Each structure stands twice: as C-alpha cells, then as structure tokens.
Amino acid sequence: MLTRLTRLVVLVVALTLTLASGVVAADKVTIEYWHGFTGPDRPLMEQLIAKFNETHPDIEVKAQAIPWGTMWQQIPAAVAAGKAPDVAVANEDVITGFIARGAFAELTPDMLATAGIDKNRFYASLWNTGSYKGKDYGVPVHSVALVLYYNTDMFKKAGVDINKAMSSREEFLKAMQKLTIDKNGKHPNEPGFDLNNVEQWGTMLPLPWMGGCIFYSFLLQNGGRLVDDDATKAVFNSPEGVDALQFLVDLIYKYHVSPANVTEDGSIAGFRQGKVATNFNGVWRVNDYLNQEGLNFAVAPIPKVGGKTYATWGGSSHLVIPKARQVDKKRQEAALKFIGWITQPQQNLFWTGAGGLPTQPVVAQDKSFDNSPMKPVFASLGNVFATAGFPWVSQVRGAMDEAVSSAMLGKKSPKQALDDGVKLADQQIADAMKNIR
C-alpha cells in the first residue's frame, strides 16, 4: 500500500507531467503549406512533411496539394483576404509575376540566416530564378531541365559517339544525318535519298511548347535573350534568335533529319518504338523510358549548337512566404524553419526520387547517383536557365512559342516569325504592365 508521502509524490509528478504536456501543446505552432505536387511526386512530399512534423514537435505543418493552375488563381485572392498559407510553392514561370504584384514576402538575409539557408549552396542560375530586383523571395525545392535521350543501339550501329555529336552544331548535324535512313538505306546527305520513305529519323523536333524550350536553349547558347534590360521589350528576334530558329528550320526542311509538324506525343512515341534515334524532352520522362521494354537508351545534355556558351532550358519550384496582413512572428519563424529543413541536402537528395534534379552541387556529388541515367547531365546543371526573371514571362513565352511553331511549320521565315512574335509580345507586355506596380 502506498504511503501518504508516496501518493503525494506520485500526484505531484503526474501533475507536473500534465502541465508540461499542456505547455508544449499550447506552444505548438501550426502552419499551412500549399503545394502543387499532385502527381507521383505527392507521396514523397507527404513523407517529407511527416518527417518534419515527427522531428519538430513544436511545429505542425498542414499541407494542401492543389493543382498548379488552381493554386495560381487562389493565391492572389487568399493574400488579398488575409488568408494566405504560411508557405507556398511557386514555379519559375509565375514566381516573378507574383513577386511584382506584391504577393510574396522578401526573404531578407536575416530571415535566410534564421532558416539556416546559404544561397551559395544552390546552383546560382536556379537560385536567381526566385530573386527579383536584387532581393530574394524563393528558395529552390525542385529543378528540372531539357535533356537529350538517345537510343544507344542506334548510335552504336551508326558508329556515332554521343560526346562528339553533342560538341558542336556541325557534329550534331553529321550525327543526325548518319542516324536518318530511308527504306533503301540512304542518308539525307546522299544522292537518291527518299524523303517520303524514311524508316529511321535522327530526331523529331516537337511543337509547340517543347519546340520553344529547344529554341530558348539555342537562343541563350548564341548569347541572345528574351527581353531587354528593363524587361519592357521582347528581343528574341535578335540575330542570335534568327540564327537559332533558322538552324531548327534547316534541320527539317534543308537537312531532312527531322519530320515536320511533330507533336510532343508523336516524338515520344517515335522514340519508344525505336523509329527515332534522339528525343528532346525533360528529365521527368526518364521513368517512362526505363519502363519501355526493349528500349536501350541513355541521357546526355542537349547539343551545343550556339556560338557563345552552353545553356539549356530548365524549370523549377520555389518555396515562398505569401504576404500576410499582420505578420505572426511565431508562424513566420516556423515557416522559415520548415523551408530551411526541407531544402537541406539530405531532404533534396530524397526529393530527387520524385524525378527532379539536385538543386545543389553537393547533392549531385552523392554516390547514390553513380548509376543514375541522369548522372551525365549533372555537370551541366550550372548552365540550366528558366524562362524567368520578369513579371510577364507567360506572355512573352506564349508569343515566342507561337513564332517558333510558325517557322517550324513552314508558314513564315524565321525572321518574319520572330518579328511577328516580338510585336505580339510587346503588345502583351504593355497590357500586363498596366496591372503591375
């Protein structure tokens, strides 16, 4: 039987534990997190959130997976109503527009330090996608890029070395000519080549959006740009742009190494069926090709066909803090702690399992990637550039894609198509500027 003193001690301990538990519960901060990872990547994001909640008993992250398009519509209204989430994800093609409209809070150096985030840890071009006018607003959590898939059996049979083929415009063209074969075994640079009976293509240049990604990459490689320094005028009709688009058009109509009027689905089907030697597409396509029975392929950076530098198109997602009417310091600190934790190398390494690329060089060096089909493109991750950096990205990108398609369909010359595209982009920029401070 317990003595009176023992019962008293037990009571005091129990009371103490109860009070302590109550203090923890009272101090626990709950934050809301909106993201658009609604596909096969959703389970991995949910695992990361669960791990954070498990290891941070003072914070609970409640996440909502919302389709990207829906979220872009909801964020402005939520910010205006003072009901925005504590953390959200914004992609490369919308982030600057939201920043310019005042939807996201600046991540000051003090805030980044509080979150344990060193921006020098990330690829510079990727980090800069979340910055605007010298200030930081987003921390990269996801990265993708345009790459070249190639059929290793076809390359071996044709005696084509992938590294040499990707090294210059001339070598890429030679390789595509070797890999394009008609029913009589002739190549496009040989007399008697039958364009109407091609059995194997070197490549297929898809339209419209993917064609725009390829053009944008070659434009940058030539030293060209989408807009001027003030981002108030489109300039992708520069000599660098005309040269890049002329090369793409020539691959179809002059060199006959790609058919005309190809959709992205058509190019993917041709590559799957072993009728096309190469496929321009994003890194997200790799798992589909790995599951394709009988398809032996590898991945390489896209060819260097420009005259200035190496560059390829990329996309990205960034963690941001939507603006609140009144900042709740505890919630903001919890949000920063979550952003800092989920963008650490260990979590980024786990997240690459969803099909994205490392956001940081130290992650790309991890031994677990030694046998990854994407390993050959890691050396070029510092040269991945998003169509980003100004508020009217979607307007300019849409006009550019339309111009590229028009030329690659043979409806206009590259110069005329790009001039018309710039004219359309400038009109849309002027309209967009009326709504942005």
Positive/negative CA dihedral, 330, 336, 338, 344: negative
Q: Which of 32, 64, 28 is nearest to 45 (CA)?
A: 64
pLDDT tens, N- to C-terminus, the chain (437 residues): 344 544 544 444 444 444 444 444 558 999 999 999 999 899 999 999 999 999 999 999 999 999 999 999 999 999 999 999 999 999 999 999 999 999 999 999 999 999 999 999 999 999 999 999 999 999 999 999 999 999 999 999 999 999 999 999 999 999 999 999 999 999 999 999 999 999 999 999 999 999 999 999 999 999 999 999 999 999 999 999 999 999 999 999 999 999 999 999 999 999 999 999 999 999 999 999 999 999 999 999 999 999 999 999 999 999 999 999 999 999 999 999 999 999 999 999 999 999 899 999 999 999 999 999 999 999 999 999 999 999 999 999 999 999 999 999 999 999 999 999 999 999 999 999 987 75
Four-point Cα dihedral 427, 131, 314, 33, nearest 10: -110
Alpha carbons 13 and 7: distance in angstroms, whole number:
10
Q: What gap in Å lies between CA 169 and CA 189, rounded to an integer?
A: 16
| Strand, coil or helix: 193 | coil
Give the tens place of pLDDT for each residue, 104-146.
999 999 999 999 999 999 999 999 999 999 999 999 999 999 9
**Alpha-carbon span 94 to 6, nearest angstrom:** 65
CA 82, 84, 87, 88 torsion: positive or negative? Answer: negative
- Nearest partner of 320 among 307, 305, 338, 303, judged by Cα: 338
* Cα–Cα distance, 18 to 68 (Å, whole number): 43
Sign of CA dihedral 170, 160, 265, 286: negative
- Judge contact between 64 and 34, C-beta under 8 A: yes
Contacts of 216 (CB under 8 A, 6+ apart): 226, 313, 387, 400
> Residue 73: phi, psi to the nearest 5?
-75, -35
